[in-house]
């Protein structure tokens, strides 16, 4: 049996992961849902293993599907970059993840900046918790992610720091006695940790008065007067909230651009420089690496 991994089915397979399902993948590639399903079946026949299985009303990738997904991205990268070397125009999708801390202020400007930096690419953004984004990077569902916190990971490039500010409702006043009420994201969260550490270092007792899984929930809790919250807003206060400079000044948090295994150094460098420009407009961009993917390596599980 002649078993080959054709580019068309591989592109459909990656689109299923990036778009979150067969129907959305079909719309993204301007194909029928049946064509996408047929492409996946062709890949399953080629590798001799199931790649996607039903899960409730949707579907999910099998462990073999996750492994092929990472390899498919490498194959498509090399395929498309080769065409570009011969001046063959091909638009590619770059999936960029971000936590909510950075999304509201950075992503709209980053999208515009990347149109100039990477004309052959179309950016698709995913906003999620840091742990979910790291899982997406490891599985190959996300190409790049903007994540807060210091790191020495070789797949992360430090691009700057985000200043942090305490916010409260206009009518909120600190407690006369008792712990400082803090509204925060569910644990784990680097902002939550930094908020509690900042208060503890000044000998101010604190307690989590309200928790939320999303930024809107944190802002709603603060707006309701449930406590204060530490946020990264790039100097733009959330509507209805006021900055509290009478509380201990927190140290800024490092921001890094993480890349998935096998992504070309040029793409990472371009996005990192675009983010640096947004954080510090006077920053000089680095000399970009050529947009050539690294050699394929084994799929790495875990984040």
Predicted pLDDT of residue 156: 86
| CATH topology assigned to domain 73-160+253-303 | D-Maltodextrin-Binding Protein; domain 2 (3.40.190)
**Looking at residues 268-285, what average pLDDT do you find?**
75
Is residue 12 within 8 Å of 84, Cβ to Cβ?
no
Predicted pLDDT of residue 303: 25
Q: Does this chain's domain 1-61 share its CATH topology with 165-251?
A: no
Domain ranges in the chain? 1-61, 73-160+253-303, 165-251
Q: DSSP character for 213?
A: S
**Domain covering 1-61: architecture:** Orthogonal Bundle (1.10)
3-class DSSP state for residue 164? coil
| d(C-alpha 231, C-alpha 107), whole Å | 16
Neighbours of 42 (CB within 10 A): 17
Of 75-89, 92-106, 127-141, 180-194, minimum mean pLDDT range: 92-106
Extract the tokens encoding 260.
């998935």
Better-scored residue on pLDDT, 160 or 103 = 160
Predicted pLDDT of residue 216: 85
| CATH topology assigned to domain 165-251 | D-Maltodextrin-Binding Protein; domain 2 (3.40.190)
| d(C-alpha 46, C-alpha 40), whole Å | 10
User: How does residue 89 score in pLDDT terms, banded at 50, 70 and 90?
Assistant: low
**Looking at residues 53-67, what average pLDDT do you find?**
86
């Amino acid at each position: 049996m002649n078993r080959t991994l054709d580019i068309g089915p591989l592109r459909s397979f990656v689109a299923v992961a990036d778009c979150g399902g067969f129907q959305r993948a079909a719309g993204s590639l301007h194909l029928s849902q049946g064509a996408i399903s047929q492409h996946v079946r062709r890949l399953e026949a080629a590798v001799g293993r199931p790649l996607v299985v039903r899960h409730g009303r949707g579907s999910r990738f099998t462990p073999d599907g996750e492994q092929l997904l990472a390899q498919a991205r490498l194959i498509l990268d090399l395929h498309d970059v080769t065409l570009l070397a011969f001046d063959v125009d091909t638009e590619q999708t770059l999936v960029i993840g971000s936590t909510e801390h950075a999304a509201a202020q950075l992503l709209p400007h980053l999208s515009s900046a990347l149109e100039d930096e990477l004309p052959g690419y179309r950016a698709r953004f995913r906003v999620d918790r840091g742990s979910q984004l790291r899982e997406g990077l490891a599985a190959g569902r996300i190409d790049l992610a903007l994540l807060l916190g210091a790191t020495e990971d070789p797949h992360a490039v430090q691009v700057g720091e985000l200043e942090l500010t305490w916010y409260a409702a206009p009518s909120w006043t600190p407690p006369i006695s008792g712990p400082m009420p803090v509204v925060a994201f569910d644990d784990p969260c680097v902002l939550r940790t930094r908020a509690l550490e900042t208060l503890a270092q000044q000998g101010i007792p604190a307690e989590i008065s309200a928790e939320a899984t999303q930024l809107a929930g944190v802002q709603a809790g603060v707006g309701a007067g449930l406590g204060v919250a530490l946020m990264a807003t790039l100097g733009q206060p959330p509507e209805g909230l006021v900055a509290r400079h009478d509380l201990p000044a927190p140290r800024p948090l490092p921001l890094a651009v993480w890349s998935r295994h096998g992504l070309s150094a040029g793409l990472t460098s371009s996005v990192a420089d675009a983010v640096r420009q947004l954080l510090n407009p006077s920053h000089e961009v680095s000399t970009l690496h050529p947009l050539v993917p690294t050699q394929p390596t084994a799929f790495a599980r875990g984040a």
